[in-house]
Amino acid sequence: MLLLVKIRKFKSLNFYEKKMFVYSIFYLIITTLMIEILPMKYLKKILGKNVKNVDESNVEENILLIIKIVRKNILRASKIFPWKVKCYSQALTAKLILKKHKIESYLYLGINKKHSEMKAHAWLKVGNIFVIGEKPVKEYKPIAIFR
């Protein structure tokens, strides 16, 4: 029964959202495999240039619409996998999809050392807008930013 509801919901999406949903599934699989298999030195080439300064300017309305669609579909696609899709895979997926649309983004890798164990988090921003991973970002200190 639940499957029928999901199929109906997918059919109700417009063509662009369906396309973005399929892209999200594809890229989430690819990025998850890359993160698990490839050493960081190879991932850095995919992540882009490591930068210190970030452009935090306002985002144009047409780009904001694309960002919202990308975010929604990555979060939607993340729910269909039998494993928990991590923030790093989601952020890298969003970066690759936005790059396809020629939208510059910044992928942040951060750590939290406040607890006895070290935790890591990844998030993606375009200008002053969070694309993926905004919730716990205040708890994490950025250690690398990729453009």
pLDDT tens for 2-13 read 778 878 888 888
- Whole-number Å distance between alpha carbons of 116 and 128: 32
The answer as to whether 7 is a domain residue is no
Q: Which domain holds residue 125?
A: 15-146
pLDDT in tens, 30-76: 999 999 999 988 998 889 899 988 888 888 999 999 999 999 999 99
Structural domain count, the chain: 1
The predicted pLDDT at position 1 comes to 58
Q: Is there a domain that residue 90 lies in?
A: yes
Within 10 angstroms of residue 108's Cβ, the number of other Cβ atoms is: 21
Model pLDDT, residue 143: 92
CB atoms near residue 117 (< 10 Å): 7
The answer to whether position 96 is within a domain reads yes
Residue 36 falls inside a structural domain: yes
Model confidence pTM above 0.85: yes
Q: Is residue 117 part of a domain?
A: yes
CA distance 132 to 5: 26
